[in-house]
Homo-oligomer: A and B are copies of this chain.
């Protein structure tokens, strides 16, 4: 679900260097390709075929080639893709050439874990600030960062040039936090609270809801159980799904 509209280029016919249009589904897969490419680079391979990269990323090779073709032509027919070059290209498209600073609001159970998650640092992000509304949590040190009160958000956002806000508060607090983030100029939010956020146009919100993932699995589990109970027995079923597509 996304409601992106990107009019190629407003005004001034001819003068505007149109941004490369990327389908949302492609954007969502680029990070997976990037991860796979890093893994391949570590094994020492300098090139990789679309087939090889597709396998490592869990997609089919036609989709991979189609996706990469949106970035331009960085492969060599008969040979494959230069691993280092492709990493560069994807990182550049995703805007990962600069390290992005993240403010994490809500240092409860989940917030704690996120604050300590090393997968962020290793992939281009820096948790630059931890905030919480609970005064008893302010001052606590987590992973070398001191928790500050959420009211300091405006100051923190400027000091740390925050690029992305992560909400890990309970659901009832999430909308207010989102409003505060928007008010200080944050235009990208990752929301772990199980609720819908309303934000102005131009602000991107992505949502991760752990219970929803389990419920989707529950559906398939339920259906598989029904199928095996059927006289026909086991029908052919499924394999893998990924999220965020």
Contact = CB atoms under 8 A, between A and B. Distances in A.
Contacts of A103: none
Contacts of A74: none
Given A31-B215, A210-B120, A243 B241 contact: no
25 contacts: A2-B241, A5-B237, A9-B232, A15-B231, A16-B231, A17-B230, A35-B212, A56-B196, A100-B218, A109-B112, A109-B113, A112-B112, A112-B113, A123-B214, A199-B239, A201-B238, A202-B224, A204-B217, A204-B221, A205-B241, A206-B243, A207-B242, A207-B243, A208-B213, A216-B244
A169 interface: no
Contacts of A5: 236-238
Interface residues of A, number: 104
A7 B190 CA distance: 37
Q: How many monomers of this chain does the complex have?
A: 2
A12 B231 CA distance: 9
Interface string A191-209: 0001111011111111111
A167 interface: no
Nearest to A237: B202
Contact of A219 (B1, B59, B94, B218): B94
A123 B211 contact: yes
A97 B205 CA distance: 31
A93 interface: yes
A122 B214 CA distance: 12
A237 to B, nearest CB: 4
Nearest to A112: B113
A164 interface: yes
A116 B120 contact: no
A4 interface: yes
A220 B188 contact: yes
Interface in A25-48: 27-32, 34-36
A144 interface: no
